[in-house]
């Protein structure tokens, strides 16, 4: 049975590896991104709401969030991100449908809420979607505060060896950026026979150029759907 390469950040990768093992698959963890908190200065201004697309935006800032911001409504993409916001001390958390693109879903929900003129957007250095541009046509302002970065990492020696020995049967890609990094790092490897399982069509785009690589896109942008694709890929390979 081939290995399933998990490239997401280590804390998430460990949980994914455990789920893969429960499905009878053999995981190989090699994160391509590492979380790094940024030093920030909280703006001394008044806002109507807070927005986050990722729970990462709140890592490293617990205990430092001003009380006036904790009292504001916070819009979060997906229930897990909403749970993280609640644990950080926000008292009014609104979960946005995670099946919509992060910034697009946020913009739609914020625009539908009366009384919101300016939103503080907590995000990472590298992000997809432009919340400010999406809300500007409706006369709404967005102030961006970058609270973290996801630093690029190389594949582990074990992962390089497994790719070189053609022991990897599938690779899980949870973000477009990690897919781009993998495509760059693995450019000199023969990827034929490897199935790339992607969270969305956007995530899959950087891998499409590798014509000898098989692509599967999750039916919905969720880990459950990705693991179902991993299981299906294994079954179709006859392993």
Considering only CA atoms, which of 151, 159, 223, 218 is closest in space to residue 186? 159
Q: Provide the pLDDT for residue 193.
A: 84
Give the separation between CA 31 and CA 14, rounded to whole angstroms: 10
What CATH fold (topology level) applies to the domain 3-32+153-237? Rossmann fold (3.40.50)
Per cent of the chain over pLDDT 70 is 95
What mean pLDDT do residues 131-149 have? 95
Burial-class residue 138 by CB neighbours within 10 Å (0-12, 13-18, 19+). Answer: exposed
**Gap between the Cα atoms of 185 and 205, Å rounded:** 16
H-run or E-run covering 36: strand 33-37
Cα separations in angstroms, 204 against 54, 141, 186, 207, 208: 20, 32, 15, 6, 6
Domain range annotation of the chain: 3-32+153-237, 35-150
Q: Which among 184, 194, 218 is positioned nearest to 204, based on CA atoms?
A: 218
Is the predicted pLDDT of residue 97 greater than 80, yes or no? no
CA atoms within 13 A on the CB side of 167: 12
**Is residue 198 very low, low, confident or very high in pLDDT (cuts 50, 70, 90)?**
very high
Strands 73-77 and 92-96: parallel
What is the model's pLDDT at position 50?
A: 97
Q: What is the pLDDT of residue 168?
A: 94
35-150 shares the fold of 3-32+153-237 = yes
Beta-carbon contacts of 161 under 8 Å, excluding residues fewer than 6 positions away, are none
Instruction: Say if CB 176 and CB 128 are below 8 A apart.
Output: yes
Two structure tokens written together for 20: 């893969």
User: Could you tell me which CATH number the domain at 35-150 has?
Assistant: 3.40.50.10090
């Amino acid at each position: 049975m081939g290995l399933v390469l998990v490239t997401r950040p280590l804390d998430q990768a460990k949980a994914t590896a455990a789920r893969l093992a429960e499905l009878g698959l053999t995981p190989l963890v090699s994160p391509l991104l590492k979380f790094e908190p940024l030093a920030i200065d909280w703006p001394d201004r008044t806002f109507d709401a807070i927005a986050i697309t990722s729970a990462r935006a709140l890592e490293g800032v617990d205990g430092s969030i001003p009380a006036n911001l904790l009292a504001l409504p916070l819009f979060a993409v997906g229930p897990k991100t909403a749970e993280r916001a609640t644990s950080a001390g926000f008292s009014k958390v609104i979960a946005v449908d995670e099946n919509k693109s992060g910034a697009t879903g946020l913009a739609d929900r914020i625009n539908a809420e009366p009384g919101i003129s300016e939103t503080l957007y907590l995000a990472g250095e590298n992000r997809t979607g432009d919340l400010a541009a999406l809300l500007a046509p409706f006369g709404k302002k967005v102030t961006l505060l970058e609270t973290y970065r996801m630093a690029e990492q190389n594949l582990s020696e074990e992962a390089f060896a497994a790719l070189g020995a053609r022991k990897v049967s599938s690779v899980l890609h949870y973000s477009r950026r990690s897919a781009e990094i993998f495509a760059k790092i693995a450019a000199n490897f023969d990827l034929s026979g490897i199935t790339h399982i992607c969270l969305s069509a956007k995530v899959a785009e950087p891998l499409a150029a590798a014509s000898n690589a098989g692509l599967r896109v999750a039916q919905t942008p969720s880990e459950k759907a990705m693991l179902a694709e991993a299981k299906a890929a294994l079954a179709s390979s006859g392993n």
